[in-house]
Structure 1
Amino acid sequence: MASTATPEAPVIAGDRLTPGWLHNSWMYLMLAAAVGWGWSSWSGPRGLASAGLVVLTVGLGHSTGLHRGIIHHAYRCGRLTRGALAYLAVLSGLGGPISWLRVHYFRDYWQNRLDCPPYFRYDHSMARDYYWNLHFDLVPGEISRYQIPPEDLYDPWLVFLEKTWYLHVIGLAGLIWAFFGFEAMIICVPVRVSVSILGHWFVGFMTHKYGYARYAIDDAREHGYNSWVLGALSFGEGFHNNHHAHPSSAKMSTEWYELDLGWYLVAGLRAVGLVWDVQVVGHDPTQRDRAKEHRFRWHWPWQD
């Protein structure tokens, strides 16, 4: 094992962790601006505008476009649609698309093995997960191990967005400031981006630790859990046990009581002809071969 970060050496097999200076600086810059001017800048209309941008950038861009479309190929679409959705994902302020593509393949590879290293497991505290996952980047010793499709990893548009993602968010901030004022910019960029970054991390941590599960995955270290509340708030990303079992499904909910708002965005794109060949749990063979449905199982914090 080797790590530049902690004596516990959270990664293995030649991979290493390095401080993510750009992402760290970006997150704390957004947090500082949000804390410093957020309360004095808040208003109902600005909050609604910021929420609308969350739907466009996190819901339509990151969850629907980047996660379900580009990473999991849960549907097909044209190059223009793919590029536009990737651009919306960049405007979420969560980071570059190639970084998300890489880390998703890294996590999927290790979490579906019994020898999953500590960095990708969730048997540690929230404080440690915050430190590891929001402050360090994984540098693979041998990237070919993760079998990332070259057409995605080296896509010219995604590579361009990876190198310039923060500039586009800063440009959006400048436009909002110029046309709607400083206070609108604070609510629609630093506050929105801060909530998106911390919210994305929090949902990922909680739905790997707590909730209910109806699937077990043979020979896998992490199975994920579902949360009704977090699933609804995160455009379906909080139904993580479902997603582990059905990774290629564009619909992350599997029951009527699970509200997957991201699925409605996909369905809307399909209705207007922008995406097609949409893979849907229950209608297409989306279930992972090693995923087995079992009795409804809960895991609560007090069971740790």
Structure 2
Amino acid sequence: MASRTPLILPGDQLRPGWLKIFWLYAMLGPALWWGWSSWSPGRGLASLGLVVLTVGLGHSVGLHRGIIHRAFRTSRSMRGVLAWLAVQSGLGGPLAWVRSHYFRDYWQNRLDCPRYFAYDHSMARDYYWNLHLSLHPADESRYELPPAEVRDPWLRWLERTWVWHVAGLLGLIWWGWGFEAMIVCGPVRISASILGHWAVNFLSHKYGYARYDIADAKEHGYNNWVLGALSFGEGFHNNHHAHSSSAKLSVAWYELDLGWCLVRLLRAAGLIWDVQAVGETPTQRDRARVRPFRWRWPWRAAQVR
């Protein structure tokens, strides 16, 4: 069946994403060359702190849950700060993420999902597709991109200039704390974030446990305790498919969603409000149905649907 499904729609184009290819290896090369010799506990702790601020607070909470899924409301200035922190994760521009997320969600929630958006392929192929190629649809109107975000002047400026924001921060770290600190807090952190984000997204669509089925959808996602804890909750992907408007990606007490901890801190500080959260507000999609756990691990050849 997968062989009869087109890779992408006729008229759409997959082109090399030259900027993201350059950026990945510009970060990965120095990380592999100087990372071990530059490492120290203090620099590692500083780098981890930046991961919490940029990947956790900026990308996972601010961009993914806030801007893309509108799981909470906040002021325009706070929204701008969160978007800037997301840029400092080194994962790319905010509007590129908005577009790719809308493209992926549109197709994964359909049974005629093209192979590019499904997960019936190997990890090596996914590495090439997702980290080296960019999709250019012939018609973006089908995806109903949110005008408020696509036309937002701050997000558009960040999209054009995100590389320089990251480079500026790395330059400040080099100037203030030295080359070794810049390597650990820059290329090591950023390349680990890029590869980690990609790996969590791939694995959480392939392996783990699922408590929900999404009617008439190609992809349901899976949950994984370890990936969920390491990725600020993003590894609880089956929960996210069923409760896409929720700022809380965990459902059970044993699922550690550190992104939700950050959301609660922001809410307690009065920086965000009207938070949508599973267990607190209605977030379950009409197409999501609870069913007994189904498990899929790498050593199981057949996927249970």
TM range (shorter): over 0.9
SS of alignment partner, residue 120 of structure 1: coil
**Which residue matches 2:288?**
291
CA RMSD of aligned residues (A): 0.9
How far has the Cα of 1:9 moved from its partner? 5.7
Q: Distance in 2 between matches of 1:169 and 1:281?
A: 34
- Mapping for residues 97-246 of structure 1, pairs under 5 Å: 97-246=94-243
Indicate which of 5, 10, 21 corresponds to 2:7.
Answer: 10
**Which residue matches 2:90?**
93
Q: Distance in 2 between matches of 1:240 and 1:108?
A: 12
Q: Does 1:45 align with 2:42?
A: yes
Q: Distance in 1 between matches of 2:138 and 2:146?
A: 18
Identity %: 70
- Mapping for residues 258-277 of structure 1, pairs under 5 Å: 258-277=255-274
SS of alignment partner, residue 299 of structure 2: helix
Q: Distance in 1 between matches of 2:209 and 2:10?
A: 32
SS of alignment partner, residue 116 of structure 2: helix
How far has the Cα of 1:288 moved from its partner? 1.3
- Mapping for residues 243-258 of structure 1, pairs under 5 Å: 243-258=240-255
SS of alignment partner, residue 103 of structure 2: helix
How far has the Cα of 1:303 moved from its partner? 1.6
SS of alignment partner, residue 14 of structure 2: strand
Q: Aligned AA for 1:296?
A: F
Taking structure 1 as the reference length, the TM-score comes to: 0.97
Q: Which runs of 5+ in 1 are unaligned?
A: 1-7
SS of alignment partner, residue 55 of structure 2: helix
Q: Between Structure 1 and Structure 2, how many residues are aligned?
A: 297
Q: Which runs of 5+ in 2 are unaligned?
A: none
Q: Distance in 2 between matches of 1:234 and 1:300?
A: 19
Q: Distance in 2 between matches of 1:154 and 1:95?
A: 18
Poorly superposed stretches of 4+, deviation over 4 Å: none
SS of alignment partner, residue 191 of structure 1: helix
- What do the CA deviations read for 1:93-137 (whole angstroms, capped 9, x no partner)? 000000000000000000000000011010100000000011011
SS of alignment partner, residue 134 of structure 2: strand
Q: Distance in 1 between matches of 2:260 and 2:135?
A: 30
How far has the Cα of 1:140 moved from its partner? 1.2
Further displaced range: 276-285 or 246-255: 276-285
Taking structure 2 as the reference length, the TM-score comes to: 0.96
SS of alignment partner, residue 205 of structure 2: helix
How far has the Cα of 1:13 moved from its partner? 4.3
Q: Distance in 1 between matches of 2:11 and 2:112?
A: 14
Further displaced range: 209-218 or 284-293: 284-293
Q: Distance in 2 between matches of 1:206 and 1:134?
A: 15
Q: Distance in 2 between matches of 1:40 and 1:79?
A: 42
- What do the CA deviations read for 1:10-62 (whole angstroms, capped 9, x no partner)? 21143221110000000001000101110110000000000000000000000
- Mapping for residues 22-61 of structure 1, pairs under 5 Å: 22-61=19-58
